[in-house]
Amino acid sequence: MFSKAQQTRSTRHKPKRGDITKVTPQVRSEVNRRSMELLDVDIPVCERCGTSKDLSKGHILEAAHMGPGYIPWNIMNLCGTHGWKGTCHDWADNTREGRIWKKQYGAMLNLYYSEGNGKYFWKYAA
């Protein structure tokens, strides 16, 4: 058994999943900027259908699989929230076609940040 003093001094060496998967404010801002640039609009939009209503940030590599939220090429703007039927977020996470699309879109975002216009806005370190 550890004493109370020893328990308060201990530190966690392994980061919690939420610390890794949480979308940072800098990434949120960059994803909004990217969605406006790629779809040539003045407001942040869904990167699949182009709507500006009910936007949420979706992980390409799911948070359940430790998909990082601190890099913009793993985060995208999608309409709706995970679990809402009939939204792009639900479609991308829960259908075979959506998962294929996410994989292809993620590959495009990797190129965008490594070789495309995104390299001027975010340092790519994959």
Give the whole-angstrom CA distance, residue 11 versus residue 91: 40
CB 69 within 8 A of CB 63: yes
- pLDDT 10s digits, 77-119: 999 976 678 899 999 999 999 999 999 999 999 999 999 999 9
29 pLDDT above the threshold of 60: yes
Residues in CB range of 116: below 8 A, 6 or more apart: none
